[in-house]
Structure 1
Amino acid sequence: MKDFSTELTFKTSRSSGAGGQNVNKVETSVTVMWKVSASEFFSEEEKELISQKLKNRINLDGILQITVSDSRTQLQNRKIAVERITELVNKSLIKPKPRKSTKPSKAQIEKRLDTKKKLSAKKDNRRFRPDL
């Protein structure tokens, strides 16, 4: 887990929505921005992996940005934003283990075929056969 918080830039704005006077006059909403390609904390492979996994969140300039307006204070929103962006980036660096394909056991195959035969027999018995 890497801490790249020194590379983050912040922008504040007024939060939207209801909230009365505080919302109208105080810039509590925080947008955190991070240029992925300019990072010195990650290798080129890691940057590529981050860009690939977070491509829907990265804009055309190569900047990953997250806006937080959960709290009433700018400081708290800033802290939440840093936590979210670091969590997001660190999650994108995790490589999933490759799936190993397995064959079903003989018992499973036998059970499946047996169940199919029973169901087939049940449906066959439901058929209406007029006496000949």
Structure 2
Amino acid sequence: MGSGPLTITETLAIPDDELVERFVRASGAGGQNVNKVATAVELRFDIAHSPSLPDALRERLLARADRRLTDEGVMVIDAQRFRTQDRNRQDARERLAAFIADALHVPRPRIATRPSRAAKARRLDAKRGRGDIKRSRAKKTDWE
């Protein structure tokens, strides 16, 4: 669409022909300008069928529960934060790059741990101590 490939990292870039931009009228305040100039940008990127993405990254992106992701695996970003078409276009591209860059980080799998014998003993001692304190607060009766 004119501004070259969308660079995510030194090794990953999305060619311009994989990004589909549509310019629409922005909603909200803006005076007379808002009714006649299409400044808002709708950026679409087909994650599911993109040849530029590595398979592992594609799976992580599609696994995310993001409302901007359609059932077909297309990312739709609406940008209308700014008053100019160019700035909204740049904003949409930056947000897509940030979304993809965020998925590049592979989360470390959690390793389940168990409490040690000493930790269990400390917990039971503390419970016993709290019980003793509560018992000592109880009103004493004649038959005790």
Q: Report the TM range for the smaller structure's normalisation.
A: 0.7 to 0.9
**Partner of residue 3, structure 1:** 13
**Partner of residue 33, structure 1:** 44
Do the aligned partners of 2:48 and 2:72 also contact (CA within 8 Å) in 1?
A: no
Q: Give, in angstroms, the shift of residue 5 of structure 1.
A: 4.9
Do the aligned partners of 1:54 and 1:92 also contact (CA within 8 Å) in 2?
A: no
Does 1:81 pair with 2:81? no
Pairing partner for 2:63 from 33, 46, 52: 52
Q: What does residue range 116-131 of structure 1 map to in structure 2 within 5 Å?
A: 116-131=127-142
For residues 77-117 of structure 1, the C-alpha deviation after alignment (integer angstroms, 9 at most, x for no partner) is 11110010111122224321011222334443333222211
Write the distance in 1 (CA, Å) between the matches of 2:15 and 2:84.
Answer: 20
The structure where helix makes up a greater share of residues is: 1
- Moved beyond 4 Å, runs of 4+: none
**Unaligned 5+ runs, structure 1:** none
Write the distance in 1 (CA, Å) between the matches of 2:52 and 2:91.
Answer: 21
**Partner of residue 4, structure 2:** none
Summarize the Cα distance change of 1:121–1:70 in structure 2 as closer, same or farther, 3 Å threshold.
same
- When the two chains are superposed, the root-mean-square deviation of aligned CA atoms in Å is 2.0
Range that drifts further, 67-76 or 84-93 = 84-93
TM-score where L is the length of structure 2: 0.78
Q: Give, in angstroms, the shift of residue 56 of structure 1.
A: 4.2
Q: How many residue pairs get matched?
A: 132
Write the distance in 2 (CA, Å) between the matches of 1:29 and 1:122.
Answer: 66
Summarize the Cα distance change of 1:54–1:119 in structure 2 as closer, same or farther, 3 Å threshold.
closer
Write the distance in 1 (CA, Å) between the matches of 2:130 and 2:83.
Answer: 62
Write the distance in 1 (CA, Å) between the matches of 2:77 and 2:68.
Answer: 8
TM-score where L is the length of structure 1: 0.85
Pairing partner for 1:108 from 115, 119, 122: 119
**Unaligned 5+ runs, structure 2:** 1-8
